[in-house]
Structure 1
Amino acid sequence: MKASVRRSAIFAGAAALLVAAVGVPGGAQAVAPAGEEDGELKFGYVLPETGQLAFLGPPQIESLKFAIQTMNDAGGVLGKPVPAVVSGDEAGQEAVAAQSADRVLAAGVDTIIGAAASGMSLAFIDRVTGAGVVQCSGSNTAPTFTDYDDGGFYFRTAPSDVLQAPVLADVIRGDGHDRVALIGRADDYGRGLLESTEKELEDDGATVALAETYDPKATNFDQIVQKVKDSRPEAVVVIAFEEGAQVLQALIEAGLGPDRVGVYGADGLRSEELPSLVAPGNPQRLAGMKGTAPASATNAQYVKDLKKFAPDLKELQFAPQVFDCAMTVALAAEQAKSDNPEKFAEEMVGITKDGEKCNTFAACKELIADGRDIDYDGVSGPLDFTDDGEPGRATIEVYAYDDQGKLQTVRTEESTAQE
């Protein structure tokens, strides 16, 4: 009952915000409170339509819309078509992301997909989960969320950086580097992956010469780059988002480019556009840089279908994980026979493991209708959720920029959570 009380209270404030924003008389009565059971599963999102992670918006947003079309092509959820998703922009600003979450909640959604950035999710997770609404992110990787007090309403299909770090460390060590400098943005994502990678490297016998964070809003990164240079590394790891282009520029100017030392990134830097941002007109300057990211293009049929649905898509980063967020929510609702988040949240973990394997919404839905337990294997790979509502295993891509500065997938590796 406590969750219902919180939900009503938060909805009242969010609905007032919506009425003020759109000027609809009686708007608070025009929509059902967020998470209220009405037999119709309603999705919303808070994803980057603008801001420093805007390049991650289109693949996630289009993949969510494609997931909803897939559900509706299979007869909808709970016997009803899934309505159009309610949109919200995280915009790379905590205040804007929180306001967007309020507006999406006010539309009466049962689940919110997003945010893309861990820091943006932390700006509104308490609003969403406190309202008794399920939140699922396809790209939050900060370890912070594993034991976050979310009342059982937060989930993610992106693996924790605790799963990415061992692969990143193995790539660095496999290239023969013993002395490594680590720098990362001073937020939950940057600190989490930096600390996890530092531990993996040291456990494997490497020397971590520097492990330091920087202000991602800085306009000049010469100070942190000087610290890297002073540490005399054989390899440098940059854990960054868009500002990473400036950091890499500064490293190259300081004689620490990929032609001189090993240079590595992670999911926040995996972009086909990165070389042209770092060195306009000379993308070859990034040749040899490597990195890791949750795999985004391992399911050929899904990639083909998504590109048919959204032919203008260029990036696919985290698109499969968002698709799996939506599918897991929908299948949990089918399993619970309810669109009430308090009920279907309890089914989110169970449908991803220890049952009869299925990998499409239609097939899984049919098994559920026959009263059988399912194990949904997603387009991003087997999910096998832990009790914390996150993947217990992950497929991690190793990427590299070739001698022309073009992004290439080198290989993928499986990573499993340690018991």
Structure 2
Amino acid sequence: MSVFTRSRKAAFGGIALAGASALVLAGCAGGDSGGGATSEPVDTRDLTLKIGTILPQTGALAFLGPPEEAGVGLAAADVNAYSETTGLTIDDIVWGDSGDAANNAWQTTSPRLISEGVTAAIGAVSSGVTKLFLDDHVAAGVITFSPANTSAEFTTWDDNGLYWRTAPSDVLQGEVLGNLVAEDGRQNVATIYLNDSYGTGLNQFFTDAFTAAGGTVVASESFNAGDTTFDAQISAVLAEDPDAIVLITFDEVYTIAPALINAGFPGSDLYFVDGNLAQFGESADWPEGASLEGAKGTTPAGPNTPEDFQERLNEWWVGEGNSDLAEFAYANESYDAVVLLALAALAANSTDAADIAGKLQEVSGGTGDGETCTTYEECADIILGGGVADYDGYSGPISFDENGDPTGATIGIFEFDADNMFNRIDL
């Protein structure tokens, strides 16, 4: 196996706030919409790419599993539909459960993906879970490509160039959330957060942004993965009489938010994040009468997902014997992860993990010398013709930096209505 390395250094510059709507991290090197660099075309390719998933089918983030698996499956179908032209086929996907840090389903899935010889594993969602198996994947020469990891720790992880993500670091979401809460006129805010790399990092980035905007965090209470009672945290934050509470949790939100509302705290004064932003109105787990009307939340979102793409995602998912998708969070990022892997394999004319990793920055537009394209077919044609493709996908322009982080990303802002269903408001 060839060896591909890249320098690992933080690259958090270039952040700019656009009002209270969304924060866009714009990379310094973007794609060229005309022409781009070229190389000699390769006449024939006969490539079979094997990928697996390590996404949450169980555990605290299980509600995110269906849209992410749908994104992976639909992307693979789109790649295979063009295989007669490209010579690249994605083999049967090895589906696996990441679970969470409490049930440890990843301990079964990760070794299975390695033993079955996948080139790349899509996942995990939880940053804390990915940290538990990432070194094993690096040692085995497997690409780990997360559609949802946001911990800033991965930017400097010693990963031999084998870790990539289509979701932006929580440095970005924390700044968007902090400025949103401040611009909403909140002055004294409390937080309740999960005590892991995701929760502690996002809590700190939110706190930094909110206090820099003139606000005060009056209480900040943590809990551990697997906890089922939160009375102490709830009592502590309510004792400080905050005018808003930020919840940085996973599915613990189904216990914490109703308890706060039942204690007399207005649901409209709650703020949510990507780990718990769900369509509660459709959930049997959400208690009747607990209203979130007016509450807000943030999550990496990219451009607004086209309705026809959501329909295609749902069609693929239902076609696999599942009920309709209730969520679409991180479906875009999951779809784009698979497309990028396929394009990198085409560009490298190889399914070797190190060879693919060596082309991922290029096909994302991160090197700045490609021709912009927005579908797998369009980008594949550019590569087959000897050019350099710059894929701009459903999650945004992407444009990976040398650390495997997207430098073109957007945090969406959402608000709950009277039915406890959220709608995007930053459009």
**What is the TM-score normalised by the length of structure 2?**
0.83
One of 262, 266, 276 as aligned partner of 2:273: 266
Shift of 1:138: 0.4
Partner of 2:68: 60
- Is 2:179 the partner of 1:170? yes
Q: What amino acid maps onto 2:142 in structure 1? A: V
Partner of 1:308: 315
- Is 2:231 the partner of 1:227? no
Partner of 2:164: 155
CA-to-aligned-CA distance 1:124-172 (integer Å, 9 cap, x gap): 1111121111110101111121111111100000111111112111221
Partner of 1:392: 407
| Aligned 8 A contact 1:77 1:333 in 2 | no
CA-to-aligned-CA distance 1:368-404 (integer Å, 9 cap, x gap): 1112122110111110111110111312211111123
Shift of 1:281: 2.2
- Is 2:80 the partner of 1:72? yes
Mapped to 2, the partners of 1:111 and 1:102 lie a distance apart of 13
Once the two structures are superposed, the pairs formed by residues 23-42 of structure 1 within 5 Å of their partners are 39-42=47-50
Residues 278 and 40 of structure 1: CA distance in aligned 2, closer, same or farther (over 3 Å): closer
Partner of 2:387: 372
| Aligned 8 A contact 2:192 2:222 in 1 | yes
Residues 321 and 329 of structure 1: CA distance in aligned 2, closer, same or farther (over 3 Å): same
| Aligned 8 A contact 1:140 1:160 in 2 | yes
Partner of 1:20: none
CA-to-aligned-CA distance 1:339-376 (integer Å, 9 cap, x gap): 01111101111211212100111110110111212211
Mapped to 1, the partners of 2:277 and 2:105 lie a distance apart of 25
Partner of 2:43: none
One of 50, 53, 57 as aligned partner of 1:49: 57
Q: Percent identity?
A: 35
Q: What amino acid maps onto 1:287 in structure 2? A: E
Mapped to 2, the partners of 1:91 and 1:272 lie a distance apart of 21
Mapped to 1, the partners of 2:303 and 2:84 lie a distance apart of 26
Partner of 1:280: 287
- SS in structure 2 of the partner of residue 351 of structure 1: helix
| Aligned 8 A contact 1:296 1:319 in 2 | no
Mapped to 2, the partners of 1:293 and 1:185 lie a distance apart of 16
Mapped to 1, the partners of 2:259 and 2:284 lie a distance apart of 13
Mapped to 2, the partners of 1:77 and 1:157 lie a distance apart of 27
CA-to-aligned-CA distance 1:13-36 (integer Å, 9 cap, x gap): xxxxxxxxxxxxxxxxxxxxxxxx
- SS in structure 2 of the partner of residue 88 of structure 1: coil
Q: What amino acid maps onto 2:413 in structure 1? A: V
Q: For this pair of structures, how many residues does the alignment match? A: 377
Partner of 1:331: 343
| Aligned 8 A contact 1:78 1:333 in 2 | no
Mapped to 2, the partners of 1:288 and 1:266 lie a distance apart of 15
One of 352, 369, 379 as aligned partner of 1:340: 352
Mapped to 2, the partners of 1:76 and 1:132 lie a distance apart of 29
Residues 77 and 189 of structure 1: CA distance in aligned 2, closer, same or farther (over 3 Å): farther
CA-to-aligned-CA distance 1:80-131 (integer Å, 9 cap, x gap): 4211100111122464203211001111111100112111111111111211
Shift of 1:219: 2.3
Shift of 1:185: 0.4
Mapped to 1, the partners of 2:267 and 2:70 lie a distance apart of 34
> Greater helix percent: which structure?
1
- SS in structure 2 of the partner of residue 299 of structure 1: coil
Residues 228 and 274 of structure 1: CA distance in aligned 2, closer, same or farther (over 3 Å): farther
Partner of 1:34: none
Mapped to 2, the partners of 1:202 and 1:275 lie a distance apart of 35
- Is 2:98 the partner of 1:90? yes
One of 288, 291, 295 as aligned partner of 1:289: 295
Partner of 1:29: none
CA-to-aligned-CA distance 1:253-298 (integer Å, 9 cap, x gap): 3322325xx2101011111136856752225x22221110111771
One of 136, 143, 149 as aligned partner of 1:140: 149
| Aligned 8 A contact 1:78 1:337 in 2 | no
Higher relative contact order (CA 8 A, sep 6+): 2
- SS in structure 1 of the partner of residue 372 of structure 2: strand
- Is 2:365 the partner of 1:359? no
- SS in structure 2 of the partner of residue 231 of structure 1: coil
Mapped to 1, the partners of 2:285 and 2:108 lie a distance apart of 33
| Aligned 8 A contact 1:295 1:380 in 2 | yes
Mapped to 1, the partners of 2:217 and 2:199 lie a distance apart of 16
Partner of 1:299: 305
Shift of 1:308: 2.9
Structure 1 unaligned residues grouped into runs of 5+: 5-37, 413-419
Mapped to 2, the partners of 1:224 and 1:216 lie a distance apart of 14
Mapped to 2, the partners of 1:132 and 1:216 lie a distance apart of 30
Q: What amino acid maps onto 2:409 in structure 1? A: A
Greater displacement, 230-239 / 267-276 = 267-276
